[in-house]
Amino acid sequence: MADIVTTANLQEPDAFYADLVAAHDGLSKDESDAYNARLILLMANQIGDHVILKKLLQEAQRTSRKA
């Protein structure tokens, strides 16, 4: 059974974080929202596996502050 990775897995955590924030430089709120949506969709397609995607959706929900 496929499982999601929640241990450190990014090769370059600092660099990725900086790139992610920098990608939004100069974007309006609407443009940022649209950018995020495109990014999520691209990443989802990269993952592909429906079970993994479902688990990721749930995990993001579980870790919200309200939960």
Site string for other proteins, 2-31 (x = CB under 8 A): ------------------------------
Considering the rule CB under 8 A, would residue 41 count as an interface residue with other proteins?
yes
- Residue 65's alpha-carbon distances to 34, 51, 60, 61, 62, in angstroms, are 24, 24, 10, 9, 9
The single-letter DSSP state of residue 31 is H
For 17, the 3-state DSSP assignment is helix
With respect to other proteins, which residue has the nearer C-beta, 18 or 20? 20
Least distance CB 44 / other proteins (angstroms): 9
Binding residues for other proteins, rule: CB under 8 A, are 33-34, 37-38, 40-42, 45
